[in-house]
Amino acid sequence: MELILILLLSGFFCYAPAQEIEIKTVQTYAGNNETTLPVISGEERFDNITIEFDVKSEFLPDFSILFRFCDRDWNPYDNLFLRNTGENMAYNIELSRLPITVDEAEYHFRGSFPNSRDNVSFPFSGKWMYFVTASDDTSIVYASGRFIVVHKEIGMNTSLKHEKLEDETFFPTDLSRVFNITAEFELPDELHPSFVDHLEIIENQKIFYPVKVDRKFNSNRRYYYWDGNRKFTFTARDVRPGNEYRKVDTRDSKIFAGKNVTAHFNEIEYSRFFTKSPRDMNGGFIIGKEEVFPTYLNVKFEFKPPGENYGSIYLTGAFNNWQILPWYEMDNNNGIYSKTITLRRGAYDYQYVAADIINGRILNEDWYILEGNNYETTNVYHLLLYYSDPNYGGYDKIIGYKILLNK
């Protein structure tokens, strides 16, 4: 049975009241490849995942990492059979002291899992979370992350086709460019057709905005077919390709010499709707290697949209796990939008997203109107097939995984 691990960062942080501790720049990847979505697969021959982060703390903290198996919505199971007790905790993890030149953090952690030292295992196929906790009290959580373990039981034939939206009128017409993504498979005898649940598609590293095709209902854009025996087809229509991401790269300390810098040397950025951008990192980021431990910079982003009113504009990217968050809303000063964030020196993919704020909620997110929508965009789509396994009291199990590229 082939084992595949995917580790995904959640971006959720909370801090214990007893001591001022902040975990910063969490980076997780497979093997030594930090630029892509961390996937451990039979093809790549990676056999672990790596977690790195910095810690801002006056005193050396004592952390452990707790791993929990979750349902399809990232809720940890309370079922005793699914807790993996005895192999779900890395105790008293080792932190290294950062040089005094790193003024935004004092300690660093780098560890790979599973490993023999910590006796950590991931026996169930599905979604998992990890929690960086106080060693003496796991209810005190300083940071959390997400990952997916797949014990692959079936193969899927997948396809991606260029299409045009036919039932709507768009302006500019570039917005009508879409992909249709299809996954076909035949269920083996040991699995029951009634337990096949849904297909999830993650574009690049946007784990908080997956495309889901659920067999419980069909629509014109998300539908499945079952032949009544063992053949299934799941289809996601009208998936926009978008554009290559923007990139900020502060690794050259001779160019970005001060503490306060601008993302592009005091240049204001504009819409890229009709411009195809250079190849990106598929949503990832790279920490600078010119210094053993790069410093932190206050990076200012400035953007001027076209004359139309786009409402609120948000900065999102690899630095916040591609989430549209209230504290990343850009300030509007006479039509020029700006936002300053603290980043560890490195290279990060990012983009601007237009959205509305209605009753305090961020709604109607538009990833394309400011950035463009091109068939030539290179994306990585991660297709995950879910199965409602009745064993151990029932749990959401992943039985199929496939990477689909458009290039």
- Which tens digits make up the pLDDT trace of 19-48? 689 999 998 887 777 877 776 676 556 677
Question: Is the residue at 371 inside a domain?
Answer: no
Same domain membership, residue 28 and residue 146:
yes
Same domain membership, residue 195 and residue 138:
no
Same domain membership, residue 139 and residue 25:
yes
Q: How many domains does the chain have?
A: 3
In the predicted model, residues of the chain with pLDDT beneath 50 are 1-2, 4-18
Same domain membership, residue 8 and residue 88:
yes
- 404 beta partners: 381
At 244, is the secondary structure helix, strand, or coil?
A: coil
Residue 290 confidence (pLDDT)? 52
Last residue of a domain, one of 104, 133, 152: 152
Tokens coding 29: 């990847």
Last residue of a domain, one of 102, 117, 152: 152
Same domain membership, residue 329 and residue 215:
no
Same domain membership, residue 166 and residue 141:
no
Do the Cβ atoms of 156 and 403 come closer than 8 Å? Answer: no
Q: Tell me the pLDDT tens digit for each residue of 58-72.
A: 999 999 999 999 999
Query: E strands, 268-329, where?
Result: 269-270, 285-287, 296-304, 312-317
Tokens coding 292: 């053993």
Residue 103 confidence (pLDDT)? 85
Question: Is the residue at 148 inside a domain?
Answer: yes
Q: In angstroms, how far is the first alpha carbon of the chain from the final one?
A: 30
Please give the full DSSP string across 130-159, using - where no structure is assigned: EEEEETTEEEEEEEEEEEEEEEE----EEE
- Give CA 389 to chain center in angstroms: 26
Residue 65 confidence (pLDDT)? 96
CB atoms within 10 A of CB 289: 10
β pairing state of 361-366 and 331-333: unpaired
Tokens coding 263: 């993302």
- How would you class 273 by CB atoms within 10 Å of its CB: exposed for 0-12, middle for 13-18, buried for 19 or more? middle
Do the Cβ atoms of 232 and 225 come closer than 8 Å? Answer: yes
* pTM exceeding the 0.75 threshold for the entire prediction: yes
Same domain membership, residue 265 and residue 236:
no
Question: Is the residue at 206 inside a domain?
Answer: yes
Do the Cβ atoms of 198 and 386 come closer than 8 Å? Answer: yes
Alpha-carbon distance of 212 to 222, in angstroms, equals 8
Alpha-carbon distance of 336 to 341, in angstroms, equals 17
Same domain membership, residue 304 and residue 170:
no
Question: Is the residue at 336 inside a domain?
Answer: yes
Q: Tokens 């290039």 correspond to what residue?
A: 407
Question: Is the residue at 70 inside a domain?
Answer: yes
Last residue of a domain, one of 152, 180, 209: 152
Same domain membership, residue 330 and residue 216:
no
Same domain membership, residue 385 and residue 236:
yes
C-alpha triplet 57, 61, 66: angle, nearest 5°: 120
Alpha-carbon distance of 315 to 368, in angstroms, equals 13
Tokens coding 377: 């965009």
Residue 292 confidence (pLDDT)? 55
Same domain membership, residue 302 and residue 231:
no
Do the Cβ atoms of 133 and 346 come closer than 8 Å? Answer: no
Question: Is the residue at 372 inside a domain?
Answer: no
Range of the domain at 264: 246-366
Q: Tell me the pLDDT tens digit for each residue of 223-261.
A: 999 999 999 999 999 999 999 999 999 998 888 888 999
Question: Is the residue at 140 inside a domain?
Answer: yes
- 50 beta partners: 29, 112
CATH of the domain at 90: 2.60.40
Residue 6 confidence (pLDDT)? 45
Amino acid letter for position 391: N
Same domain membership, residue 201 and residue 55:
no
CB atoms within 10 A of CB 405: 10
Alpha-carbon distance of 109 to 137, in angstroms, equals 19
